[in-house]
Amino acid sequence: MKQYQNYIDGQWMASNSNEMTAVLNPATEEKIAEVTSSNNEDVDKAVQAAKKAFPDWNKMGVESRLEFLEKLYDIIVENKQLIADTIVNELGASQSFSESGHVPLSINEMRTMLDDIRDYPFEEKVDTALIQKEGFGVVACITPWNYPFNQIQRKITPALIAGNTVVVKPANDTPHSAILYAQFVEKAGLPAGVFNVVTGSGSTVGDYLAGHEDVSVISFTGSTEVGRGLYNKASDTIKKLVLELGGKSAMIGLPGADKYNTVKQSADTVLNNSGQTCAALTRLIIPEDEKSDYLDIIKEYYEENANVGDPTSSDTKVGPMVSEKQKETVMEYIQKGKDEGAKIFIGGNEIEGKGYFVEPTVFIDVDNKMTIAQEEIFGPVLSVITYKTVDEAIEIANDSPYGLSGAVTGPNEEEALEVAKQIRSGNVYVNQGPRSPRVPFGGYKQSGLGREVGIYGVEDYLEIKSIMLPE
Ligand code: NAP
Ligand code: MG
């Protein structure tokens, strides 16, 4: 079995903790690798390496940095099958979603950013002043397990383009993708210290890294609860924060909307990746008097598309949950839904045997005040909520502490757009409009701060200096 060390200052380094953490395959419960359980000393080394590498990396200019990142991009493309397989093994995403979702997302977002940034004004004039945009310093990138490769890509590509150096602390459940990233960085020949990976637990090394006095930016994706703690941590040395947190997004089918596509759009987000997607459309909000037609379509859609099982099989849409703990969390939410009076329409049970599998579940008769409609479940669970007027539908959609995504479908695109404009969230889809890799992603309210992806994603990693020059 493979054992992996930290990647610090361009080298693979053992920790003096002498402890390892097992990486499990959530479909088989087999141990597939071991990574270092790091301690604060490892974090110190990584931050110091990044701090030391920063001045040269920042000063060399974007053209030179892009040369390194182009090499890294080529290596990622060459290794796309390895990345897809690694994601299946450590996360349990279905092979088809890993290959058609996870990996192309990373490649397309990185490609677009490398192309678009060439025209970006890193220096510009405002009256007689020169405005210079440059890196902050060391960025702590703390990433979750649900899109283990792309959550790293979304942070390190813009942070490095902007002139920062990075220390990545990946999720303990899926560190293998981060190790791959470090191997690719090493192959691409990035200068030592520009990119570092320290594996270990969030509550110990993640917490220490985020509070480190030599870290200038905390870029975090994960739960709102941990994000709130990091917000406080940032205050000591006034760190910049980029937070991509949870969501409880609404899919509104307006009266007369295309029901099949409405169901498909929301159901796919709770079936792919086993529903472990922050932007999943977990609340399906439909007209009361169209409910029975919707239920027929939901039933049929799930019969044909909700196959649970071995993620490597081509028939599988829904793999296991990432961990036993996540499976328990999902089962607790399902129980809470039943206890609070929602009705199970499909599924609702755990699946016994090896692997952390849960039945794809649809609740009906859900009131938006219920826990299952307010809190992020992060599992294959859909809540169907009905409304009488469009104003009520908008009110329900916005009655959430979150504001990450949303969708509206309707027979009249203009009307759907008017509704989309009233949704308080960072992303809204109208009639299945596509998303390009250029479009900013991020949340309103407790879904986060800042934006990732595209030029907006780079700007969050840029400091702005005004240099006043004589006339
Ligand atoms: P999490 O606890 O917020 O973990 C995300 C990352 O933060 C992991 O690397 C984690 O390390 C680290 N971390 C945990 N506690 C920390 C602390 N005190 N200081 C610094 N870093 C810390 O999320 P999770 O446990 O993976 O999942 C729980 C919930 O988070 C999910 O159910 C979902 O609601 C939400 N979530 C949202 C997204 C999103 O994209 N918005 C992604 C994933 C999860 P460890 O792995 O060692 O815990
Ligand atoms: Mg956690």
Ligand 2 geometric centre to CA of 50 (Å): 25
Going by the DSSP 8-state scheme, the letter that residue 431 receives in this structure is: T
State the closest ligand 1 atom to the C-alpha of 229, by its place in the atom list counted from 1.
18
Residues comprising the chain, all counted = 471
Tokens of 404: 């990450």
Q: Determine the atom of ligand 1 nearest the C-alpha atom of 246.
A: 41
Nearest CA to ligand 1 atom 12: 202
Which sequence positions are flagged as catalytic? Answer: 244, 278
State phi, psi for 376 to the nearest 5 degrees: -75, 125
CA atoms within 13 A on the CB side of 29: 9
Tell me how far apart the alpha carbons of residues 96 and 313 are, in angstroms, rounded to a whole number: 9
Q: How far is the CA of 379 from the centre of ligand 2 (A)?
A: 15
User: Ligand 1 atom 13: the closest Cα is on which residue?
Assistant: 202
378 CB less than 6 Å from ligand 1? yes
Structure tokens belonging to residue 384: 């169907």
CB 400 within 8 A of CB 374: yes
Q: Cβ neighbours of residue 339 under 8 Å, at least 6 residues apart?
A: none
The Å distance, Cα 226 to ligand 1 centre, comes to 7
Ligand having the closest approach to the CA of 143: 1
Check pocket membership of 223 for ligand 1, CB cut-off 6 A: yes
Q: 429-430 and 195-197 as β-strands: parallel, antiparallel, unpaired?
A: unpaired
Token representation of residue 266: 């929301």
The atom of ligand 1 lying closest to the CA of 209 is: 20
The Cα 424–Cα 444 span in angstroms is 7
201 CA → ligand 2 middle, Å: 8
Task: Please state the separation of Cα 64 from the chain's center in Å.
Answer: 29
pLDDT tens per residue, the chain (471 residues)?
Answer: 899 999 999 999 999 999 999 999 999 999 999 999 999 999 999 999 999 999 999 999 999 999 999 999 999 999 999 999 999 999 999 999 999 999 999 999 999 999 999 999 999 999 999 999 999 999 999 999 999 999 999 999 999 999 999 999 999 999 999 999 999 999 999 999 999 999 999 999 999 999 999 999 999 999 999 999 999 999 999 999 999 999 999 999 999 999 999 999 999 999 999 999 999 999 999 999 999 999 999 999 999 999 999 999 999 999 999 999 999 999 999 999 999 999 999 999 989 999 999 999 999 999 999 999 999 999 999 999 999 999 999 999 999 999 999 999 999 999 999 999 999 999 999 999 999 999 999 999 999 999 999 999 999 999 999 999 998
Within 60-149, where are the H helices?
62-78, 80-91, 95-97, 103-116
Q: How far apart are CA 456 and CA 289, in angstroms?
A: 42
By most ligand atoms within 8 Å of CB, the mutation choice from 174, 201, 226, 270 for ligand 1 is 226
Sign of the CA dihedral with 427 first, then 77, 461, and 175 last: positive
Tell me what pLDDT residue 53 has: 98
Amino acid at 357: F
Residue 226 Cα: closest atom of ligand 1: 3
Give the residue whose CA is nearest to atom 35 of ligand 1: 223
Angstrom distance (rounded) from CA 380 to CA 168 = 29
Q: Whose CA is nearest to atom 32 of ligand 1?
A: 378
Q: What is the whole-number distance in angstroms between the Cα of residue 130 and the centre of ligand 2?
A: 44
**CA–CA distance, 89 with 94 (Å, rounded to integer):** 9
Nearest CA to ligand 1 atom 46: 171
Identify the pLDDT of residue 76: 98
- Supply 449's token pair: 């701060």
pLDDT, position 225: 94
Bridge-partner residues for 125, per DSSP?
130
DSSP H or E run through 324: helix 324-339
- Given a contact cutoff of 8 angstroms between Cβ atoms, the answer to whether 47 and 215 are in contact is yes
CA pair distance 189, 208, nearest whole angstrom: 28
pLDDT at 1: 83
Cβ–ligand 1 contact at 143 (below 6 Å): yes
Q: What's the rounded Cα separation, in Å, for the pair 238 and 231?
A: 10
218 CA → ligand 1 middle, Å: 14
| Atom nearest to 244 CA in ligand 1 | 41
For residue 211 the two structure tokens come to 């509070």
Token pair recorded at residue 107? 């490649």
For atom 11 of ligand 1, the residue with the nearest CA is 202
Q: Which residues contact 193 (CB under 8 A, 6 or more apart)?
A: 8, 9, 10, 49, 50, 52, 53, 165
CB 393 within 8 A of CB 368: no
Q: Name the E strands within 245-325.
A: 250-253, 283-287
Report the largest interatomic distance among the alpha carbons of the chain, rounded to a whole angstrom.
76
Q: Is 146 in the pocket of ligand 1 (CB under 6 A)?
A: yes
- Pick the ligand that lies closest to the CA of residue 378: 1
Q: What span, in angstroms and rounded, lies between the C-alpha atoms of 98 and 121?
A: 35
Among 72, 296, 282, 289, residue whose Cα is nearest residue 184: 72
